[in-house]
Amino acid sequence: MPRRRFLGVLGAGGGVAAIAAGLAGFRSSGGAVGEASGGEMADMAHPAAAHPVGATATTAEEMDVHHRGGVEAFERNRVAPITSGIGAVDAAFRMEGGRRVFELTAEATSWEVTAGQRVEALAFNGIVPGPTLRMVEGQPARVVVHNRLDQSTSVHWHGQRVPNAMDGVTYLTQEPIRPGGTFVYDFTPGPSGTHMYHSHYNSTEQVTKGLVGALLVQPADTAAEPAADRDYLFILNDGLGGFTVNGKGFPATPAYAARRGERVRFRFLNYGAMAHPVHLHGLTYEVFARDGYPLPQPFRCDTLTIAPFERWDAIVLADNPGTWAFHCHILSHAEGPEGMFGMFSALHVD
């Protein structure tokens, strides 16, 4: 059974498991933005599907083959990525006089969402989601933004209490960063927690096509957050290339792993236009922060709905071994007649 090999590989994971991937010839991923139902929905969610939902041409055997193919591709993706490009990797920075300095370049690029499914993206530093900016509460930061798009742009620091002139809303707080131009954003990060940055110019197009990333602010007092053995990003999107986690659709979605007894932090961020209820099988979320702010009372649940541009932080105590499905529970975002697609991943506990 291939599952054994799959489990072994999973157990070796750590850090942000943005393992990219793709599966040649397996085209059931896709997924489209918008609301639909019935046969129309199935067609949207499975643009490359060989058979429409419920068609007599789709035999039980054929459906099983597709379902199995997806899971096997997800397994392969852990060993060797089946797509090119990994989103949300940590951004490099340099120190200048006590200030953490990052460089972001906005540019059109091609992004592989699942194997063979490429989309025209607008990206920071060539990846979707953009590089993850890690800052420290109270330590000054600078982000130098270069515009190589064929339209203006500006960048907003979503969740940060910055000086107004640094807020990144074109013409409201600054002149646009014109094509070929550069803008220097200076601010002192705060509040701490899980935040975002994104274009605030023509954002329906620019954000939807990828000009968005995570901004993680470490508290000045690290004891202010619950301790965790692992710290993972689970970034939802329903724009570019369909339903995605960390810029990829199943089976190229990231794999998550933990050892039994570990406390695993998940940071959920939603860059899309729809709310997504993310369900984890077999384990329990202990939700402790919303939009970076600690909750007065953490709560437990197993399905957490992330509205557009919200951030939620949860700890999962990995006390139940196994490979647990981890997916959006709007079913048309995650599983169809050809198996899992879109917002589907798994957490392996060994």
**Interacting residue ranges for Cu ion, rule: CB under 5 A:** 276, 328, 330, 333
Residue 33 or 53 with smaller CB distance to Cu ion: 33
Residue 177 or 330 with smaller CB distance to Cu ion: 330
303 class by beta-carbon count within 10 Å (0-12 exposed, 13-18 middle, 19+ buried):
exposed
- Closest-CA residue to 337 (of 135, 96, 48, 138): 48
Minimum separation from the CB atom of position 19 to Cu ion (A) = 21
Residue 35 or 64 with smaller CB distance to Cu ion: 35
Residue 33 or 108 with smaller CB distance to Cu ion: 33
Minimum separation from the CB atom of position 238 to Cu ion (A) = 7
Minimum separation from the CB atom of position 239 to Cu ion (A) = 12
Q: How many CA atoms lie within 13 A of 326 on its CB side?
A: 27
Cα separation of 350 and 344, whole Å? Answer: 20
Cα separation of 238 and 34, whole Å? Answer: 8
Distances (CA, A) of 229 to 56, 264, 267, 326: 49, 6, 14, 19
Cα separation of 154 and 275, whole Å? Answer: 25
Residue 117 or 270 with smaller CB distance to Cu ion: 270
Minimum separation from the CB atom of position 274 to Cu ion (A) = 6
Residue 21 or 328 with smaller CB distance to Cu ion: 328
Residue 109 or 208 with smaller CB distance to Cu ion: 208
Residue 245: strand pairing partners: 236, 248
Minimum separation from the CB atom of position 208 to Cu ion (A) = 16
Residue 73 or 274 with smaller CB distance to Cu ion: 274
Find out whether 263 and 227 touch, Cβ atoms under 8 Å. yes
Minimum separation from the CB atom of position 277 to Cu ion (A) = 7
Minimum separation from the CB atom of position 334 to Cu ion (A) = 7
Minimum separation from the CB atom of position 216 to Cu ion (A) = 23
Any alpha helices (H) in the chain, and if so which ranges? Answer: 2-11, 38-45, 60-79, 203-206
DSSP of 141-179: EEEEEEE-SSS-B-EEEET----GGGS--BTTTB--B-T
Minimum separation from the CB atom of position 1 to Cu ion (A) = 30
Helix (H, G, I), strand (E, B) or coil at 44: helix
Residue 147 or 237 with smaller CB distance to Cu ion: 237
Find out whether 275 and 307 touch, Cβ atoms under 8 Å. yes
Q: Report the DSSP pairing between strands 99-114 and 141-147.
A: parallel
Find out whether 299 and 277 touch, Cβ atoms under 8 Å. no
Could you tell me the two tokens for 40?
């129309």
Taking the CB of residue 263, how many other CB atoms lie within 10 A of it? 16
